[in-house]
A and B are shown apart, each in its own frame.
With several copies, the nearest count.
Chain A
């Protein structure tokens, strides 16, 4: 599939939003869905529906096969070694909670330290904070530098003899910084430290290879990857998933249940308690296939072009201040406009059909550091074009006019 015409695959772009064509620049928040994904969900609910894995009738067998096919597709897509290293969750946030909680139960002890960064999304901070509360665990922060980036050097500096886990984002959802996660993983492993990667912004935009990367955990948010809402993927090394205790208890994750004792099932069942997001998992296979049909290299090139173009546009625009100028930058353009609050920017842009996000983007630590309460953020996906960024820029100019800025 050619990336040039890819907008055609997304039905929403046929809609008029407030009489405008939709200029969707909020993909870091959630991506739009290609027709194949919506169609698959519809087909499943109207022609094939059954719960998976629990019945032996025809529909249940078919659904179970579809469900497990997605697991295999994800495994291949991220090049995991084993199919059972893929656990479906309700989202990346749950995936990160699962890791923090189970490491907390079995691996972390009083006095241990966890290293995160000032760039982290609340979903990769609050779950660790829970451990700080329940156990006597310390959280350290690697510092964001003036480019909105985290350096390997600062990570190294912040590691102590008590650091047990490094939990870190692959790509900042505010500054767009792509972190050197392979180097960080190598460094961490040389000191026996577990590496947990928040891959929410990495997975939709970057090439993934778990065996090469060698991290211990990697969390993915499917709705940002052209997939359904209510679904996430946790990649975890088999060794860890086998060693750690289960997270939620219920149907499907057990082996044997007695009144005085319970034994748990094997992977991946152990971490998939209760009826899972069946339809969503089954449809997510289409998201993966869709991305594969375009090719991640093409996606990366397309988005890199867009960022470069957008960055130049905004840098040239008076009163616009871009946030973050990291060495490697993903498709996120966060900015402030002198004297105009981001929420006002977002409202004015919306009137032109330009959808962006305003706020702290679940990164209060970073915004505190930057000494701003909020920022405006335009973020790209495969369907965006340079034309979209031109419209963004025009609309920002409209905003300046209203606020009497030059």
Chain B
């Protein structure tokens, strides 16, 4: 295992200064996520327009560097994507965190892939995987308009 791989500079930077923190003005979808193990909570807000494009997206919450960085990077990448693209990116990310060595989605540019790959270090820290995936699962709930609180345990 390698802590340097887990805590890369880009993670630390996003963790410290997360992008898109706050509440989207006039959001029309949102969902709450909860990690029962560490008690982390995240709330994802987004504005989906008539063309099913995520016009704006943000999150509220506090947590460890991994979860903050992950939410920050996610919101950055999802913004401007349409529903189909966004869902593919989420799947691609979750697949990468679980088992795949790489990201495959066409909807991600090379530099975006590089950014996302920085989170792949958590693979070696099973207990921290949930920190990295919480905001992504919560985004999916928001898109699905789910009223339930997303729980990384299930």
| Interface residue A76 (Cβ < 8 Å from any Cβ of B) | no
Interface size on B, residues (CB 8 A): 29
The contact size tier of chain A is 20 to 34
Check if A344 sits within 8 Å of B7, measured CB to CB: yes
4 closest A-B pairs by CB: A341-B64, A343-B64, A61-B127, A56-B127
**Chain A residues packing against B (C-beta within 8 Å):** 18, 53-54, 56, 60-61, 64-65, 84, 255, 265-266, 269, 339-344, 347-348, 351, 358-360, 364, 373-374, 402-404
Check if B3 sits within 8 Å of A402, measured CB to CB: yes
Check if A56 sits within 8 Å of B128, measured CB to CB: yes
* CB nearest neighbor in A for B16: A339
Check if B12 sits within 8 Å of A351, measured CB to CB: no
Report the tally of A-B residue pairs with Cβ distances under 8 A: 72
* CB nearest neighbor in A for B131: A343
B31-39, B73-81, B139-147 - the one binding chain A: B31-39
* CB nearest neighbor in A for B34: A255
Chain B contact surface mostly: mixed
Check if B153 sits within 8 Å of A403, measured CB to CB: no
Complex-state Cα separation, A404 to B125, whole angstroms? 21
Of A64, A347, A360, which contacts B39 at CB under 8 A?
A360
| Cβ contacts under 8 Å, A54 to chain B | 37
Known pairs A84-B154, A265-B36, A347-B127; list 9 more (Cβ under 8 Å). A56-B127, A255-B34, A255-B149, A266-B149, A342-B64, A343-B131, A351-B3, A358-B38, A403-B12
| Interface residue B126 (Cβ < 8 Å from any Cβ of A) | yes
| Interface residue B71 (Cβ < 8 Å from any Cβ of A) | no
| Interface residue B62 (Cβ < 8 Å from any Cβ of A) | yes
Given the known inter-chain contacts A61-B126, A266-B154, A348-B3, please indicate yes or no for A404 contacting B12, CB distance below 8 A.
Answer: yes
| Interface residue B6 (Cβ < 8 Å from any Cβ of A) | yes
